[in-house]
Chains A and B, each alone.
Chain A
Amino acid sequence: MPTHDVLVIGAGLAGQRAALAAAEQGVSVGIVSKVHPVRSHSNAAQGGINAALNPGDSWESHAFDTIKGSDYLGDQDAVEIMCREAPEEILHLEHLGVTFHRNEEGKLGTRAFGGASAARTYYVADITGQAIMHVLYEQLMKHADSVARYEEWFCTALALDEQGECCGVVTRNIADGSMELFEAKSVILACGGNGQVWKPTTNALICTGDGIAMAYRAGAKLMDMEMIQYHPTTLAGKGFLITEGARGEGAHLLNAKGERFMERYAPNKMELASRDVVSRAEQTEINEGRGFPDGTVALDITVVPKKRVHEALREIVLVGRDFAGVDITREPIHIKPGNHYTMGGVKTDVDGRTDIPGLYAAGETACVSVHGGNRLGANSLLDTLIFGRRSGADAASRAKRIDRSRPSRAVLEAEQAQIDAISAREKGSGRRVSEIKFELGTTMDAKVAVFRDEAGIQEALETVRRLKEEAESAYIDDKGAVFNQDLLGAIELGYMLDNAECTCVAALERKESRGAQYRTDFPERNDEEWLKHIDLQLNDAGPEISYSEVTITQWEPQERTY
């Protein structure tokens, strides 16, 4: 039975940062990931990372932008911590070897990003997430003595002791199908978001909400699950991301008539308004017949100097060429809003603690909440690193403080039995897993997207509940032990359905429009009744709703215009 003081589940930016922070405290650390760490989805973060590091900038300005961006649903104590600690984190990364872009003086250079009142986004071309993650992985290789890596191990459940504290995780070694119960004094969930619940999405196939679902099943509270970000610039059909950095570099959004339509929606910030604002503007243009026949509008990057495009937007030159057949330096590219980011997640405090002792969450899995109703571009990498580090440090100090309690093997046996039951289903006994996933994704994209209303969300919720029943009898083809991806897909489907149910329930509950939640039947923000978080906790019948206060320190809610 592998035993560690701190066990991190997930090896994207949040997970790797947490593992390194915990290891610094001299405790035994394990990091488990269902894919090789460098395959994690943090790779896809293109544009950059925010920090108020320039002399003329201030953390207060960064915090205000973040809070305004969140439509005042972000918890201001957490936002303050994130923005205060950002500059130090950037410098730490630079010292580790991240190849951040330099200005002419050879110092760190910045670019502009959406919803920000200063150019405070630090970047590596448009591969910022990849560049940072590969550097953190370099550090994991360097510190192999203090951080054990379990690459391509899949987690199926959390183990709690008799006091209800988290003390381990049930895993499956993907390479040979063996099941293991890992023991740990602290467990950090850093499993990313749940984008695969929607189809299409910018998210990778691995983003199936595993951490959120495992915590929920173990009894942890989830928060802000209705807040799902649609990114303004994704390729139609395939959902690939075109970085906000393109607009940061000056690209325009045009409708089919060639109008720079953001003038009507955000006359000051134009294309660099908050993402929810830009996505709604695009969707309105499309819905009102001013889009292209393929249901898109255009992003015109040709206005950016070509040398700059090659230097700073190289990745999307390739994406345009390879996946859309468009040379973005010569012609506009068709884009539309697409599912992108999970603002909600496992409810944590500013040290990543969930309400299950010993269980932590960080990054997109967690909801601290710093993003509230809408995340600003280039704040996600920052969130993963700051709260990954804080979780790792706190998890390590807990591990030093407490005695080990051993998880019961019963949980391992129950998981094995569940897997055996899935494998035992006969072909044709139910639907294929892939069919259920498809129906789930297209339903959510149709009903729980940029614009929502009660009838649509209700319909989606009923579909999700039916699919949950169907998933109970869904069959798989692969009965083997080695790299049985078919089986993992069936388990992931279960995670996705729990995520979907929670999002629908929360979206139905919030009867107002705030951030990414736009209810056409309640089109106004209503601070009197809804300046609060919706928390969900599993009871016998499904997610049970409660509320928690939004922490306000110094920024009273105001009308939000860009």
Chain B
Amino acid sequence: MATYTLKVRRYQPESGEGPYWEEFDVDLDPSLSVLDGLLQAKDRDDGSLSVRCSCRAAICGSCGMKVNGQSGLGCKTQIGEAHEAANRRNGGSEPIVVEPMGNMPVIKDLITDMESTHWTKIRRVTPWLLPHGEAPEREYVVEPESMIDITQSMACIQCGACVSSCLSMEADPDFIGPAALAKAYRFVGDPRDAETKERLHDLAHDQHGIYDCTHCFSCIDACPKGVAPMDQIMRLRRKAAEEGVDDDPNNGANHVNAFVKMIEKKGTNDEALLIQESYAPGIKGKLKPSKGAIKGLVESLPTVLRAIKTGKARSLPKLIPGVHPKLPDGAQDEVKAIYEHAEEHREEFNLYIRGEEDVEPEPEPDETKMEETA
């Protein structure tokens, strides 16, 4: 048993006052959760402290919140660890900071309006199975692995932690977002669904769709269930390419291809070429650029200029094609080897599909940690 201080961002909508901070001292075993701490404060000190919660076991998805700035579930964040994290962050004996989730309006204290953000986005992806024709007399016969594969996104409990943490959504509130796109993959990856291509076309052509993700990994960090929403988004992109959905107005698929080829060839990103290659790939593209390519290139000019001005892209003389620095020694061969390995071993990182780990020698590295960041 130890005493912890929770510094809670409070908001009482009927008070006429804005949000404020309030500290609560709670006495708990370090293995108990931040939610247990909040409930103790609510039970002992102030019943008006409001937080959605139900299962206390990371199953119901009610208690999404930010603890020390990190989005997650209050019930799954151990208070002892949160205390240490607060100290590491601020150096010294700091309180554990508890806030409502981000990217959503706050209703009261830690309760956010998930309906207007999270659920509206979920409904955006047509979140139900669309099979064609009559259902079979018995079950649909499908590859066993395919069911295990989409079970990863079925593991989503709709807690909103990924939405709360999403940096792309902070920049573009209309981004469909990690939770809804993970939900979309649950249907795209489902062999029983007959609208795979239509779904992919829809999500690729939406300006705020699958190409709006910037691979920041925040959602993977935040997700308490190992759904790894960003991985699901990348699967949607890959699947879109496989299904020939490459004509999206965001030029997303071509951009992906250009980037992949460039790294294979040069090892690092050549900004001088990336946009050109994205819109007008190869010599063919340069000689006979499509209308869309010209439009896209012209429209990219302000971005290019801004990038040069801020130093994000290198200075003008170095933007001349061909002067891009090569990787030292044989490093480029190693990059190629990675590509070859990836081509030969097209494995998905999926918590529900494990390799032959039973034959791995003991002791093993901490797999669960590796999975989470995979």
Contact = CB atoms under 8 A, between A and B. Distances in A.
Interface string A115-136: 0000000001101001100110
Interface of B: 12-14, 31, 42-44, 46-48, 50, 52-62, 76, 78, 107-108, 111, 114-115, 122-123, 127-129, 131, 135-136, 138-144, 147-148, 150-151, 154-158, 187, 190, 192-193, 225-226, 351-354, 356-358, 368
Contact of A305 (B139, B358, B368): B358
A365 to B, nearest CB: 17
A43 B59 contact: yes
16 contacts: A35-B54, A39-B54, A95-B136, A97-B129, A99-B147, A124-B147, A125-B352, A131-B154, A138-B127, A141-B127, A151-B115, A204-B54, A238-B57, A319-B57, A434-B42, A483-B111
B28 to A, nearest CB: 12
A311 B352 contact: yes
A138 B123 CA distance: 9
Nearest to B193: A97
A89 to B, nearest CB: 12
Contact of B151 (A103, A125, A484): A125
A51 B52 CA distance: 35
Interface in A99-123: 99-109
Contact of B31 (A142, A325, A434, A476): A325
Nearest to B353: A311
Contacts of B154: 99, 124, 127, 130-131, 134
Given A91-B138, A130-B157, A204 B127 contact: no
A248 to B, nearest CB: 18
A41 B60 contact: yes
A124 B151 contact: yes
Contacts of B53: 205
Nearest to B48: A478
B31 A43 contact: no
A466 interface: no
B222 to A, nearest CB: 15
Contact of B14 (A109, A135, A482): A482
A11 B122 CA distance: 18
Interface string A25-48: 000000000011011110110000
A206 B127 CA distance: 27
B139 A91 contact: yes
A139 B128 contact: yes
A485 B60 CA distance: 18
A94 B354 contact: no
A138 B128 contact: yes
A138 B58 contact: no
Contact of A477 (B48, B138, B193): B48
A64 interface: no
B14 A35 contact: no
A338 B55 CA distance: 15
A520 B88 CA distance: 54
B129 A322 contact: no
For the residues of B in contact with A, the DSSP-based class is loop
Contacts of B352: 125, 310-311, 314
Given A96-B129, A99-B150, A307-B354, A106 B142 contact: yes
Nearest to B126: A142
A43 B58 contact: no
Nearest to A437: B43
Given A134-B154, A205-B53, A482-B14, A39 B61 contact: yes
A310 B56 contact: no
A39 B48 contact: no
A431 to B, nearest CB: 12
Most A C-beta atoms less than 10 A away, residue of B127, B190, B193 = B127
A258 interface: no
A306 interface: yes
B14 A480 contact: yes
A210 to B, nearest CB: 13
A483 B144 contact: no
A321 interface: yes
A433 B356 CA distance: 53
Contacts of A434: 42-44, 47
Contacts of A125: 148, 151, 155, 352
A131 B142 CA distance: 18
A165 interface: no
Given A99-B151, A131-B151, A306 B44 contact: no
Contacts of B192: 97
B206 to A, nearest CB: 19
B144 A102 contact: yes
A99 B54 contact: no
A204 B56 CA distance: 7
A455 interface: no
Contact of B54 (A41, A102, A241): A41
B135 A307 contact: no
Nearest to A45: B59
Given A139-B128, A311-B354, A314-B352, A130 B59 contact: yes
A486 B12 CA distance: 14
A91 B58 CA distance: 29
Given A91-B138, A97-B192, A138-B127, A106 B44 contact: no
Contacts of A94: 139-140
Contact of B13 (A38, A478, A482): A482
A493 B354 CA distance: 45
A462 B138 CA distance: 55
Nearest to B109: A483
Given A142-B128, A481-B14, A106 B43 contact: no
B14 A41 contact: no
Given A204-B60, A311-B352, A38 B158 contact: yes
Contacts of B13: 482
Given A44-B55, A477-B47, A39 B60 contact: yes
Nearest to B129: A97
A481 B48 CA distance: 11
Contacts of A480: 12, 14, 48
Contacts of B114: 36
A419 interface: no
A64 to B, nearest CB: 25
Given A307-B357, A480-B12, A97 B147 contact: no
Contact of A476 (B47, B56, B61, B107): B47
A321 B368 contact: yes
Contacts of B59: 43-44, 130, 315
Nearest to A324: B31
Contacts of B123: 141
Contacts of A406: none
A173 to B, nearest CB: 13
B358 A306 contact: yes
Contacts of B135: 95
Contacts of B142: 102, 106
B107 to A, nearest CB: 6
A239 to B, nearest CB: 9
Most A C-beta atoms less than 10 A away, residue of B131, B147, B156, B190 = B147
B108 A482 contact: yes
B351 A99 contact: no
Contacts of B353: 311
A103 B141 CA distance: 10
A144 to B, nearest CB: 8
A338 to B, nearest CB: 12
Given A97-B190, A305-B358, A307-B354, A205 B139 contact: no
Nearest to A478: B48
Nearest to B134: A95
A109 B144 CA distance: 9
A467 to B, nearest CB: 16
